[in-house]
Chain A
């Protein structure tokens, strides 16, 4: 990277021994040889198989459920319905507290979502479940459960659900507005507003104003491994769960709450995970299998089909976003106004607040107002998806920013630099940024060979967009145990999705002054480590890494004390540096890490270290993306020719895995931008619930994605780490849309920008309905 900017001197220029290198990940060989055990690979003797009975209707009253025929099936061991979930209530208004899932869902709703009673509110919603000796028998027996429904009209689109005469999902949802109950019943669960400065005055100062309305489709994380789990309710009332999840403790807690049992009755052992992207924070089958297991007296295993997974776990919301921005003729953005309405799915609690925080965050805008609406629709409850809310919001705002730059005839990156948020810039929610790296990201791309290269060919064009995501901190715990051969066992509670065992081990190794290969990391069960919030929010390398640093410091201090004991000197005179322990001038009193480890068992026993953190110094993430596209003017099909993403990593612990995150997020963002969508039938069912018709990009749809890692250290982390997992998904839809405006002259206001939609937009611009 060649830039003329001030190098980041905070921390990132520090030379490290382990950090910044690219060791082979500890889980790599098992994964490439197929030895790694994923959730569906889990076996336990005596297991039987579960299957959920699901609603064929998106919205219907349950008249009756008759399980007798299923119970009579010779292979069936247990049948349960929603009535079997306990209705435990605690608290004044009859509800238990919110769960600790990433998107907090009211417990009453969580229970209903897991297995419905009285009515179903989304297609494929579970209403009962069976367990049988084989998976095929379970599937056949599930068909024997007879459910009578009274079909109700459904609504699956956010704006339609906000209409006064829309079908109402829940008669107990009352809109909260600015934190107060309003008494207004309907599908709008919440309306919030953030405001800074005086937007009206701001717009009066503007020479150019752009306003557009955008609609984006519901999308899915598209992880390769569908949800699956095995649950054993043992006769000592402990409930063991083996599953694929991002948050072992989150799901342990939520499962215990739904079942009305003490937290620690549940023990969850996470298996290797085949992707989550936010979609594996919530329990789906776990509580149901627990009930089946209790009834049958055997462990119960279940895996979802892709159709079940797509339609009835937790996708990412479709949305309506209106953005209006104004700038002066010399290129200063002076006012912003945004309105966001997000699908929450069938129960309240969407990610609209995050979207509202993101929509203007990359810019220093003195006057802005953001309104957000959380709206229930007849779709499965939305879950998190990689920077949840950011992509919807920033597709809209980055399109409007681009159009402002076009109107002002200012280079798109230059225009963003002129308005970029920096340390001290106040966001619309009133908080201000610590040191952030947006300017450095923009400069890196402005100086990049890709940006400077000529754009050649018919209908070939270039687009740019950038994005913000706040990242998360939250709780993590790490334990270290030094072995007498000098290798160190590391136990942690963060399921490893993107190479985090490597990046966490490397941080401990750096502190201890030993090679990262000498750290042996394990992701352990919820009985074996302190509470660790799930792998998500780009938090794992930051927060679990932080805990590993603390644990390593603890070990280091004890190593020093142990050496002092052996040498009979004061601990203050002992030093440990790059894995060597010495005292005095170091000529005589010196030992290597391994030598001291070998003395350990005879001088007081094993040395163990612990780290437990809830760090507040979360570093915000910024990314920018340049894409070159070709758009076919006759078919509307977009081909991505070249893509370059730059992102501020703070400090890249393992650069390869940072690059992997940048590429993965860009790939998902391209899919979101071009072809992915929930296509709903008139009856409210998902029509394209397979990967054939839910079109994620294939290898032939993506170019090699070039990456630039920018390092503006996060002052809130010992090594300067910022989370890198999420923000990269947000720029592609806007970058592609911005390129399309230059290729075909159309401004896209709808996601996905599939060929059909692009052509329709062109026809609408030409004033013809079908191109004829």
Chain B
């Protein structure tokens, strides 16, 4: 491993300045659970690591007004131990509590999960399903980006070299809403999603008002399957309609075959997991509980 400069800015402005000065040679780091592994195997080779997890703004959790704004460096364990989040956003807890294991969750952030832009990232489908936005600061000011537009390819995102993710805003979910994230892995922990599905539903009596489904590990970026909403909105909550959603997810998926699963198997899982996840989201929308993982 080569020598790397390390900086620990205390403010967003300082961090943006460092990133701007160093350009492509610099890399932000939150929990480091992706970045340090990538440095060790030589997959990323920055000259400068800008450790942003000591910036107070990036560690804030604001749950006023029914939504939540998560500082970009807030680690998973803070999220799943926060009562307001547990209550309003159980799907976020679904994601935060399966990323790595206990030790990883002590450091790993949702912001890092998003910026790392892995097709398999376990938080991104949830954020897409919940309609979240990424708040970004750069040398020319601030902007917000819908999560579904954030990732541009495996390991790539919309951020410029001078830009920093500062927070993620998740809007308040209406009454009769419920969301869920589940992934399929061959083991029961410590694994990368063969397929992951995040879904949120808003119900209107016995029918779907809106449905947002996003898939992990079946395309170069997390996939937002808007066709499911097109098909289901206004329709009754029935097994047939849920099965339709599964079929649409399966058709939308563009998986590859690799060591974690063949393309055929992944497409099949899109169907199975979409049905299961939607059913759980519906249960939650109706005030019920679902099993942890």
Q: Name A's B-contacting residues (CB within 8 A).
A: 136, 139-140, 634-635, 637, 639, 674-675, 679, 687-688, 692-693, 695, 697-698, 700-701, 754-756, 759-760, 769-772
Contacts and interface: CB of A to CB of B under 8 A. Distances in A.
Given A679-B259, A756-B261, 8 more contacts: A637-B184, A687-B258, A693-B192, A698-B187, A754-B186, A760-B262, A769-B264, A770-B264
Contact of A701 (B187, B259, B268, B269): B187
Contacts of A139: 1
A698 B188 contact: yes
Nearest to B257: A756
B154 to A, nearest CB: 16
A46 to B, nearest CB: 23
Given A139-B1, A688-B259, A692-B192, A759 B268 contact: yes
A635 B184 contact: yes
Contacts of A639: 188
B268 A771 contact: yes
B43 interface: no
Interface of B is mostly: loop
A693 B191 CA distance: 7
B189 interface: yes
Given A692-B191, A692-B192, A674 B260 contact: no
Contacts of A755: 184, 186, 194, 265
Interface string B238-281: 00000000000010000000111110110111001000000000
A700 B268 contact: no
A697 B187 contact: yes
Contacts of B1: 136, 139-140
A211 to B, nearest CB: 28
Contacts of B250: 772
A688 to B, nearest CB: 5
B187 A771 contact: no
B259 A687 contact: yes
Interface string B190-230: 11101000000000000000000000000000000000000
Contact of A692 (B190, B261, B264): B190
Nearest to A756: B265
B2 A140 contact: yes
B186 A695 contact: yes
A131 B143 CA distance: 50
B272 to A, nearest CB: 5
Contacts of A772: 250, 268
21 contacts: A139-B1, A140-B2, A634-B272, A635-B184, A635-B269, A637-B184, A637-B186, A639-B188, A675-B186, A687-B258, A692-B192, A693-B259, A698-B188, A701-B187, A755-B184, A755-B186, A755-B194, A756-B186, A756-B261, A760-B264, A772-B250
Contacts of B262: 756, 760
Contacts of A635: 184, 269, 272
B264 to A, nearest CB: 4
Contacts of B259: 679, 687-688, 693
B281 to A, nearest CB: 18
Contact of B188 (A136, A679, A701, A769): A701
Contact of A759 (B189, B191, B265): B265
Given A679-B259, A687-B259, A692-B192, A700 B265 contact: no
Interface string B131-153: 00000000000000000000000
Contacts of A695: 186-187, 191
B220 to A, nearest CB: 18
Contacts of B269: 635
B186 A698 contact: no
